[in-house]
Amino acid sequence: MTWRAFFLGLFLAGLLNWSDVYCGWAHIWGRMTESNFPVSCVFALVVLTLVVNVVIKFVRRGWAFRQAELMLVWIMLLVASSIPTTGLQRFWLPMLAGPPYLAGRSDIIWRETALNAVADDLVVSKDPLSVAARRFYEGGGSEARVPWHAWRTPLLSWGVFWLIFFTAVLFMCILLRKQWVDQERLQFPLARVPLEFSEGADGEGWLPIIFGNQAFVLGFAGATVFRLIRAVPLLVGGTVWSPKLPLQTTFAGTALEAARFVDVPMSWIALGFAFLVPVDVSMSIWFIYLFTRAELVVSAQVGSTISPSNLLSWQMGGAYVALTIGALFMCRRHFADVLRRAFGRGRETDDSREVLPLGWAFWGLLLCSALVVAWLRVFQMRLPTAIAWFAVLMCIQFVHARLVAQSGVPDPWLAWDPTDLVYGITGGTAFGPPGAVLAHMQRRMMYSIPHGPAMMHSVRISEVFPKKRALLLPIIVLVLIVSLTISSWTYLDQAYKVGVVNFNDAAWSGIGNVRTAFDLAHTKIVGRGTGRLFYTGPFVAGILLTSFVMFMRARFYWWPLHPIGLLTCQGWNPDRIWLPFLIGWFIKVAVSRFAGGRMLRQGRLFFIGVIMSEAAVSGVSTVLGSFTRGAVPGF
């Protein structure tokens, strides 16, 4: 770690949070953070490695950025990318101003229930005539100013929560590194790609070591050329050619329409990661997805009263619970070592490679957990519910961190509602009115859950730092503060000038999501469970099916499936990645069987080149679109 890398990373983190909100949400010019493998990180790494370092080496080779410096910048951008996107900022601020703005509508049913129950300090106002809320949505022109007096308290209240909660996630990931990396040896494909790409960045050659491999160069150059060829129709007023498998169109009007396929686009990045992970993992992604499509068809044929979304989402909820219990059980000896270290025993446990001593990380997690529960209690969530709700939120972060680390799925999606799980298991008694509103607000602010994967991969990549790894903790906390501050300021500044109703995806991000959160909170407050019942059958089926796959995999070496696929069988992103994972799995199996180990190693480098090229060109496209204010279309 060096000061220049730190200040560069901090500057880029702030710039990213400004640009992504300004160019991606306030306008429709492009975003760089919509993934756990963010375009922002790849673009910065490619520019620093292939442009900046080359220029520096012309002056003096010793001044070139080293791999550890490049990875510090990557980590800072990775953490920063989790804030302005679907993980938080897209939904956070509308959730604070939307309730009073929508409450004036005649079709709103929660004016006297959910709106009245929410704590005053968590929203801009409760008054349906609030000027601050109305101008937030409708804008006031280029000279409009943010009414900070209305926003100061809710921003501070929520900002404290997010900072403590994300720090708790970081401590959890620090505790898990030794088990997942050293003991279970998870693949971490989203970390291996930048690590291999940046190796030898400050070496004798002009470019990193990987550019000396023909397979990588072929993948990188070939994917770039193919991407540009697909963009040729833009020159004649057309659109970028993107191959799709038209399953939705083909099956329309047939019995297979019940499978709810979409017209699947080809994600080359997902295909690349499918090749990098073990074949049992990649097979589970596509096989279990198709298995769940068969479930939907059978359910429709027998006339099931459970909707397709409830069937799969509750099944996924059960899978989350089962996988969490199974993964924690595998960690039992490691956690015993952690406890011994925390209480001054277990000195034989080596934690010299950790970001923090394991005992410190344990007490840090415990302190942050207590502070989060205390925060929930301050805003009137019952103590047992607050503990259970925090445990569920951490379970989700845990599972998503594991999912991305093990499967390479760049865009997992939370397709089930944890508030319904807590509510249903307790027979509808868990949430009082303030707690119901608070839980639904938090769930609807976090959709894609990039925070756990970002923290876990940051901890994994930190192994390249030869010393002072403990500095990573304050660095990440500082990045979170900068990201929350700049993204919030930019969002509010543009909202009061342009109006959220004119933002990108305003119908859902700004209005629909807020209304859904308060509609569901109202349902829980008045005790009407119709349509949002606890679906015991699918939930238990998810637990049993996941447990069965985990048992078979542990008991029989020949078992071909991994339980990770049960976490990616429902949602916008899973609908679009199963086919690339099928193709990537097929290619890897074919290469392994007919070409041997050498070709398999070359194939891995080829697909690393494809992944880096696709993300880097997307970054170039976004930057050009932003600088030209949309004049250059995305390619």
Residues 435 and 373: beta-carbon distance below 8 Å: no
pLDDT at 551: 94
* Assigned domain for 222 exists: no
Average pLDDT, the chain: 92
* Assigned domain for 53 exists: no
* Assigned domain for 614 exists: no
Dihedral angle over CA of 409, 415, 419, 422, nearest 10: -70
Confidence band, pLDDT 50/70/90 cuts, at residue 126: very high
Element (H, E) at 264: strand 263-265
pLDDT digit string, tens, across residues 360-405: 999 999 999 999 999 999 999 999 999 999 999 999 999 999 999 9
pLDDT at 146: 95
Q: At residue 233, what is the residue type?
A: P
Lowest mean pLDDT among 254-258, 311-315, 351-355, 564-568: 351-355
Q: At residue 121, what is the residue type?
A: D
* Assigned domain for 250 exists: yes
Confidence band, pLDDT 50/70/90 cuts, at residue 596: confident
In the DSSP assignment, the letter for residue 179 is I
* Assigned domain for 214 exists: no
Confidence band, pLDDT 50/70/90 cuts, at residue 135: very high
Dihedral angle over CA of 430, 435, 437, 443, nearest 10: -80
Residue with tokens 């400050």: 202
Residue with tokens 């540009």: 228
| Structural domain boundaries, residue 326 | 82-187+242-594
pLDDT digit string, tens, across residues 329-359: 999 999 999 999 888 876 667 788 889 999 9
pLDDT digit string, tens, across residues 533-543: 678 899 999 99
Distance CA 376, CA 388 (A): 11
- Residue 204 pLDDT more than 60? yes
- Residue 530 pLDDT more than 50? no
Give the pairing type, strands 244-246 and 263-265: antiparallel
* Assigned domain for 365 exists: yes
- Residue 151 pLDDT more than 90? yes
3-state secondary structure (DSSP) of residue 245: strand
| Other C-beta atoms lying within 10 Å of the C-beta of residue 598 | 8
Q: At residue 461, what is the residue type?
A: I
Please tell me the pTM assigned to this model: 0.94
- Residue 532 pLDDT more than 70? no
* Assigned domain for 118 exists: yes
Confidence band, pLDDT 50/70/90 cuts, at residue 528: low
* Assigned domain for 279 exists: yes
Number of domains in the chain: 1
